[in-house]
Each structure stands twice: as C-alpha cells, then as structure tokens.
Amino acid sequence: MENMETEISSLGEFGLIDRLTRDIRLVNDSSRKGVGDDAAILEYGGKELLVTTDLLLEGVHFDLRYVPLKHLGYKSAVVNFSDVYAMNGTPRQITVGIGASSRFTVEHLEELYSGIRLACEIYGVDLVGGDTCASRSGLVISITCIGEGEKGKIVTRDGARETDLICVSGDLGAAYMGLQLLERENSVAAGHKEGFQPDFAGKEYILERQLKPEARKDIIELLRDNGIVPTSMMDVSDGLSSELLHICKASGVGCRIYEDKIPIDYQTACMAEELNMNLVTAAMNGGEDYELLFTVPLADHAKIEKLKGISMIGYITKPELGCALVSRDGAELPLRAQGWNAFINPSATPDNSDSSDNSDNPDPSDNSDYQR
C-alpha cells in the first residue's frame, strides 16, 4: 500500500503552519488576531496586547563553535522585541524557556542569561518568568515576548494598498555576510591544531550584524514623531523577498522594487566580492537583518524622504501585476521566497531564527536570480 504521509520539508515552515492552523477559529472576544502575523493581538480592558514567541535550536539556528553565549542570549531576546516593533508596538515583558544538555554548566547558562538581561535592560523590558529543562539535543531556547500597542495604530501585514510606497530601514545583507565570514574562519580554524587567529579586520560591522543585531526601536519612534503610521509592516528576518511576498499575499496586492534602491553597506559589498557571491541575491534573501520593511501612503512621500535611515525601494501595484524586482537595465524579475528553511535543511547552521515559505535554500553564489 502506498505511503500517503507528507514530509514536513515538502511544505516548509509557513506551509506547515498554514496546514496545522487553517481550521482554528478564535472563540474569545479578547483574541483579536491569531496566527499569521509577527505577533498575536489580544485585547484586555481596552488595551491591545501583542504576543510573540521564537524557538531557537542548537545545530539549526546557531552554532556555538563561533557564537558566544552572551551574544546568543542578547540576540534571542532582541529578535522577539523586533517582532513587537514590527507591529508598531512596544515590548514590555518576556518569559524564557531553556533546555540544556549535560555538557552545559551553571556558568554557561549564567553567561547566556547575562546577554538576555542586557537586552532587557537596554530596551526596557522585564524578564518575568520561564522554565528550564534537561535536553538531549544540546541547547534549546524559547522566548515569549509580551508587548502593547496603541489602539488603532497597531500595524499588520495585510494593510498595503495600491500606490503605497515600499520602505526599508537600514541596510540589507550584512548579517548574512557576517555569517559567511564566521563560517569561513571556522572552517579554516578546523585545519589548524592551535594558535589560529581569525581575520576579522575591517569586517567588524557585518560581524556585529550577525552576532549582535538590534531591534529598530529608533525607527518606530522616528515614524511616530513624524506622524507616520505604516499601512503594513514586517521585520526582515527571512530576507527581503520573503517578507515582501508575505505582505503582498496578506494584502492581496503586487509590488515593484528597484535593484538600485536596495540599501547595501560597503562592508557587505566587499565581503560578497571576496567570496564571489551575488550581492543582490544575498541582500534579497540572506535574512537576519531585523530591519523594518513597511508601506506608507503615497501622500507621505515628502515626510519619508526627509528621514535618515529609511530607503524608499519601490511601490505597491495591482495584484494581477505580480511581484517583481526591476533590475538596473529595466528587466522585471519575479520575486521568489528563498529565505532560510530549517525544515528543508535542518542539519545546517545558518543561525536564522525564522523560515521562509515553500522554497529551496538560497545560495547567493548562484546568479540564476536577480542577475545584474
């Protein structure tokens, strides 16, 4: 008899989530929005709360051969804060769940928690509880973040409308290039018995973007101070392509973004050239930048244009026009979700905290997409 069971890898993370949650119906009035965004929206006493959770597994999301525990703790907390900011909210509390195998000592976990506590101190978030447990598979970290948003100003993925401007904060591709640098130096070190010193000179920025990312609280405050409420928003955890497709699918629209408008740092470009990788593909699909991708009405063009640290990279179109990247020579290339997918390649260690839709794992050295 033919086996009719479905492998998880055939669906990818978001396909799996859709499959597992498609029949869920919210029955409580306090549950305003459930699965399908950066955070759930709950309402209690006239106040809207935001709740999000992330699970990080050793050997899938991080590699302790080159990721310091304090940095890992900091990053684990910050990526949750980022989800709340991506809803135009403010993170207030977290709970932390830790699973640790016998190779970890108390001092190891104290180092991990020191990073979590530092992130909480910097962002004004309270650590209010959690759980610890023995693990048979190395280190497991699960953090849940609770935030709040002003009623009527929480931003979801489904509000983008035709002619809206597409904007992104900061620059893209740096975290992915930092990961490539770490993996290269780690491979070189494996061939030396002792005394090897990794070469990070002139590459400090991309290294920090991978090991110690920051949530863009400053961008949320900047938008608020200038009276701008995005129509849709996400953080860039899986890569620009994946996040744009999420927004367009949720909003029922298409998009055009321009290759020459994508913000890329000089160190990122240099590292891509050094490794012979396609820079645009890396910027579009590398992920883990934790920048904010958002749309605003065309009427806000003059306001956005004056703000530092924000780039206008394209616009929203009618859905029938699809989603495309416009190259420097004017060619339109269909967007593909090529972000990291742990279910398709669970043995790899790209240190990405989220996964993309049903897609193959990206190889930015492959120039088949977004060829310049």
What pLDDT sits at residue 45? 72
Nearest to 220 by CA among 354, 89, 62, 91: 89
Tell me the per-residue pLDDT of 239-253, one tens digit each, with 9 for 90 and over: 999 999 999 999 999
157-334 homologous superfamily: PurM-like C-terminal domain (3.90.650.10)
Q: Let me know: does 220 contact 88? Beta carbons within 8 Å.
A: yes
User: DSSP string spanning 222-271?
Assistant: HHHHTT---SEEEE-SS-HHHHHHHHHHHHT-EEEEEGGGS---HHHHHH
Burial 290-321 (b: 16+ CB within 10 A, else e): bbbbbbbbeebeeebeebeebbbbbbbbeeee
What pLDDT sits at residue 185? 86
pLDDT in tens, the chain (372 residues): 455 776 656 655 556 556 665 665 654 555 555 555 456 777 777 678 899 999 999 988 999 999 999 999 999 999 999 999 999 999 999 999 999 999 999 999 999 999 999 999 999 999 988 888 899 889 999 999 999 998 889 999 999 999 999 999 999 999 999 999 999 888 877 666 665 677 788 999 999 999 999 999 999 999 999 999 999 999 999 999 999 999 999 999 999 999 999 999 999 999 999 999 999 999 999 989 999 999 999 999 999 999 999 999 999 999 999 999 999 999 999 998 775 454 454 443 333 333 333 333 333 333 333 322
- Token pair 């990818």 is found at 12
In the chain, residues under CATH classification 3.30.1330.10 are 25-149
Q: Let me know: does 365 contact 372? Beta carbons within 8 Å.
A: no
What pLDDT sits at residue 24? 55
Q: How far is CA 242 from CA 31, 58, 238, 358, in A?
A: 27, 24, 6, 10
Q: Let me know: does 77 contact 92? Beta carbons within 8 Å.
A: no
For the beta carbon of residue 5, count every other beta carbon within 10 angstroms: 4
In the chain, residues under CATH classification 3.90.650.10 are 157-334
Q: Let me know: does 93 contact 130? Beta carbons within 8 Å.
A: no
Question: In the structure, how many helices (H) and strands (E) does the chain have?
Answer: 10, 13
Provide the residue type at 117 as one letter: R
For the beta carbon of residue 237, count every other beta carbon within 10 angstroms: 27
Domain 25-149 class in CATH: alpha beta
Q: How far is CA 207 from CA 119, 164, 167, 178, in A?
A: 18, 34, 25, 4
Helix then strand then coil, % of the chain, to nearest 5: 35, 25, 45
Question: CB-side exposure of 263: number of CA atoms within 13 Å?
Answer: 17
Beta bridge partners of 51: 40, 146
Enclosing H/E stretch for 301: helix 301-305
What pLDDT sits at residue 200? 84
Sheet holding 254-258, edge to edge: 232-235, 292-296, 165-169, 310-317, 254-258, 323-326, 332-334
Sheet holding 47-57, edge to edge: 31-33, 40-44, 47-57, 140-149, 90-100, 126-134
What pLDDT sits at residue 187? 81
What pLDDT sits at residue 23? 61
